[in-house]
Every structure is written in structure tokens, then in C-alpha cells.
A = this chain, B = another copy of it.
């Protein structure tokens, strides 16, 4: 018998859903982790013979899976959760959100809002998120303090704000921040042209040039509403997707967020460019923006990821809720209950998200060599019984509240449902005593 191999951590669970290979669920297996990466998945018996872990964690009744990737968020806006509801997108932005932001946005606001968002995301199973908001440097600090993986972009548009004097300044600051985080293991900086309707051709072209040259991710709200599409046809003689394609913005690192509508020709363009669609079903329904036919997108060969959007338009960052809604709504829109089955939805929320962020070689599945970004989901509760098919239970019966443990690069962020890197009591105190009264006063 050979000498056991020393490793950092061995985690055993009743089930492992690795995402790759597709549609598979392993029973009574374990994940071996060393130096932040996955060494192997194997049976618990093999693991006992092969490894000498410094730490061993046994999770009976629980399931291990890749951490969820929230591919579109505006973390800081969590401080505006429930501030304005039941309004359509343009009125919601123009009458409620933008005026509040003009009063509030600062490094401190973004830091506190991001910390609140990150706490909620960790507690509900997200281990990576893509975020678009002002002061991304503040969100980066909070993500790092909490140990969460993040891809961050400042929203770029033609007007001035407290963070920037306009599009050129935003591009300049984005490039500067990129240098600060170059080759960082957890943080990557991208471009965030807010939307085609808020950016000039010149700004989009400039972003496209830098992004292509520097291999930077680009996140843009695209085809969020029928109105946006109609306005573009009126103002530019073409639909928004055609315009950003003409300006060179579409590439394998482009995240087209929302896409409530896309023709077959547009899907072919996205597929040819290797661009990604980020589906935010709760936000699209809540703002009555539309219903993306995601089953058609997948058939066309376009990668689909899932996003919560900001907590101001959702109003939850629980990606399990998006997962369930993506499966339910995607099937109903397709008129076929098998159109988005449970494994497809789980893949969107993990490897689909990782691919959209350009991180598919590092995260998104439980495979040897990938980073140890994973979560444990407790399937022992009343609402998950009986349990014939763990994948079905994850999508249709579980919720973020079932997540018990979370690790990023092998480091624990959640242990027995307790945050390990964020002081929950201090965070709640700051939100309730400092921010809530100040923000509530704006509405009076």
C-alpha cells in the first residue's frame, strides 16, 4: 500500500453534482483539495486509502456542487432594495433610482452596499459574481475582504457623475484599475458600457478597441426592453445588437445582459462571435421588460448565464431563485416542459456563468485542476423529501437558505450557515442605523 498523499482538505458528502460530466450525480464521494485547487473527485473509500487530509469535513445528507456564478449584479444597489417597486424600467430609473444615486453614490455607499450584497450572495451559494457599478474599487476591496471572486466594471455612459466626468474618464479609470488588479487571483476588471442608448458610437468604439487589445471582459445591458429596440431602430436605423456589432463590441468576452429578444440572425451573430447572454429572469419579469426565450438561445449555440441583476430590481440576490425561475419560465416560453430541464438550469448557473466571465478553465465545474470554488447544499429538510433525483430537488425544491457551506479557492466563506469572513452583526448595524434612515429620507 502506497503512502497517503498529504492534502489540505477532504470533503465528503452524500452526493456530488460536478456539472462535468453532464447530467451526472455521484453518490458517497469526496472532493480532495490542496493549495486552493481540486486534486480529485473519488469515492469515499478511495479517498480514505489515498489521502492524508489536514482537515476532513463530512456532510451526510448534503450535496456538493460548484459555487454559483451570479453573472450580473449591481451589488451596491442592495442598499436600494425595495426603495422603489412596481414601476417600468425607464420610470424606475428616471424617477426613483437615478435621483437617489445622484444623492448617495460615494465610495462609502458602494462599500457598504457591496458588503451587504456579498454577505447575501455567500449565504445563498454564489462564489463568483460579475458586477457593474460606480466606484468598482470599493466593491473590489469588499470582495477581497470577504474572499469572493469578482469581475468588476464601472458603468460607462456619456454623462458625468460623481465617479467620473464622462465616458473617456470612465474608460481611463477602468484601465487604471485594471492595472491595479492585473493577474489577481480573485479580481478581474472589465468594461461596463451601460447600454447602447447611453453610449455614443465613439465611446463604444474606444471600449471595443481596448477590450480586444487587452482581452478584457465587456458587460452591457442589451435588448432589455422592446422600447430600447424600437428607439434604436428610430435613432440609428438598426437594432441595438447590430449597432454594437458594427462598432466592434461583440467578441468572446462580451456579456450581453438581458436579451429579452433576439432574431435567428442575431443569435447567429452572437454564436459566431462567441458572445454570451446573461439571463436575469426575475428582473425582466419584475420590470415587465419581457421574457427571454432562452431555450432558443441555447439551441442556437449561444452560451447562457444567469444573473440576479441588482437587488433594487429583483429584490433578492439568491441565485437559486433565478435557477428555478429560469427552468420554469424557459420551459413555459418554449411551450415544452423539457426545454430547460434541471441539469440545463444548473449548468447555466455554474459553468455557463464561468464561461460568460471567461473563467471556464478555472471554475464552474468540479474537475481536477480547477479552483476549489464549491458549495454544500443541505437536502435533508422536509421540503426536499423524498429524494429521488438530487438535481431536480436543487432546482425545483431547494433555495439559497439550504446552502450550508461555501469555499472559494479552498477557503471557507460559509460554515454551518455562518459567514466566516464578514461580521454579520456589524454589517446589519451599519445598514440599519447609518444607511437606511438616510436613504429613506430621500423619498419624503
Q: A314-B396, A316-B396, A338-B86 are in contact. Are A331 and B386 (CB under 8 A)?
A: no
In the complex, are the beta carbons of A337 and B87 less than 8 A apart? yes
| A382 interface neighbour in B119, B380, B393, Cβ under 8 Å | B119
Query: With A342-B85, A385-B428, A396-B314 in contact, do A332 and B291 touch (Cβ < 8 Å)?
Result: yes
Partner pick for A399 among B119, B396, B399, CB 8 A cutoff: B399
* Bound-complex Cα distance A386 to B396 (A): 28
- The distance from the CB of A398 to the nearest CB of chain B, in whole angstroms, is 9
Within residues 83 to 114 of chain A, which ones have a CB less than 8 A from any CB in chain B?
A: 83, 85-88, 92
Q: In the complex, which residues of chain B have a beta carbon less than 8 angstroms from the beta carbon of A337?
A: 86-88, 92, 286-288
Say yes or no: is A284 at the interface (Cβ < 8 Å to chain B): yes
B288 and A392: CB pair below 8 A? no
Pick the contact of A392 from B85, B88, B334 — CB < 8 Å?
B85
Interface residues of A in 387-444 (CB under 8 A from B): 387-389, 392-393, 396-397, 399-401, 424, 427-428, 431-432, 435-436, 439-440, 443
* Least Cβ–Cβ distance between A417 and chain B, in angstroms: 11
CB <8 Å contact, B382 and A288: no
Q: Contact at A286–B331, with CB atoms within 8 Å? A: yes
Contact of A282 among B282, B328, B342 (CB under 8 A): B328
Chain B hits for A336, CB < 8 A = 88, 288
Chain A 319-361 interface 0/1 with B at a Cβ cutoff of 8 Å (1 = within): 0010011011101101111110110000000000000000000
A residues 145-190 touching B (CB-CB < 8 Å): none
Q: Complex: how many Å from CA A427 to CA B386?
A: 11
Contact B399 A286 (CB under 8 A): no
A318 at the interface (CB under 8 A from B): yes
Asked if residues B436 and A387 are in contact (CB atoms below 8 Å), the reply is: yes
Q: Judge whether A243 is part of the interface by a CB distance below 8 angstroms.
A: no
**With a CB–CB cut-off of 8 A, which chain B residues contact A86?**
331, 337-338, 341-342
Copies of this protein, total: 2
CA distance A408 to B82 in the complex (A): 30
Given A87-B338, A436-B387, A382:B424 Cβ within 8 A: yes
A285 to B88, CA, bound (A): 23
Determine the distance from Cα of A334 to Cα of B291 in the docked complex, in whole angstroms: 12
| B396 with A82: CB separation less than 8 A | yes
Are B432 and A332 neighbours in the complex by a CB distance under 8 Å? no
CB atoms of B120 and A392 under 8 A apart: no
Residue A79, interface by CB 8 Å: yes
- Given A385-B432, A428-B385, A431-B385, decide whether A393 and B82 contact each other with a Cβ distance below 8 A: yes
Q: Which of chain B's residues have a CB closer than 8 A to the CB of A83?
A: 388
**Chain B residues closer than 8 Å to A396, beta-carbon distance:** 82, 85, 286, 314-316
Residues in B with CB closer than 8 Å to A120 are 382-383
Cβ of A317 within 8 Å of any chain B Cβ, yes or no, is yes
Q: List B contacts of A388 (CB < 8 A).
A: 81-83, 436, 439-440, 443
The complex places the Cα of A381 from the Cα of B87 at a distance, in Å, of: 25
- Most B CB within 10 A of own CB, among A86, A328, A335, A401: A86
B329 touches A383 (CB 8 A): no
- Output the residue of A334, A392, A440 with the most chain B CB within 10 A: A392
B residues in contact with A380, CB < 8 Å: 428
B431 touches A82 (CB 8 A): no
Are the C-beta atoms of B288 and A82 separated by less than 8 Å?
no
Given contacts A81-B388, A124-B383, A386-B440, 19 further A-B contacts (CB under 8 A): A81-B385, A81-B397, A82-B389, A85-B341, A85-B342, A85-B389, A86-B341, A92-B337, A116-B385, A120-B383, A123-B383, A285-B331, A285-B332, A286-B328, A287-B337, A382-B428, A385-B436, A386-B431, A399-B401
Closest 5 CB pairs of A and B: A285-B328, A386-B436, A315-B396, A285-B332, A82-B392
29 residue pairs from A and B, CB less than 8 Å apart: A82-B387, A82-B397, A83-B388, A85-B389, A85-B396, A86-B331, A88-B337, A116-B382, A119-B382, A123-B382, A123-B383, A282-B328, A285-B332, A286-B337, A288-B337, A290-B332, A291-B332, A315-B392, A315-B393, A316-B397, A317-B383, A329-B329, A380-B428, A382-B428, A386-B431, A386-B440, A388-B436, A388-B439, A388-B443
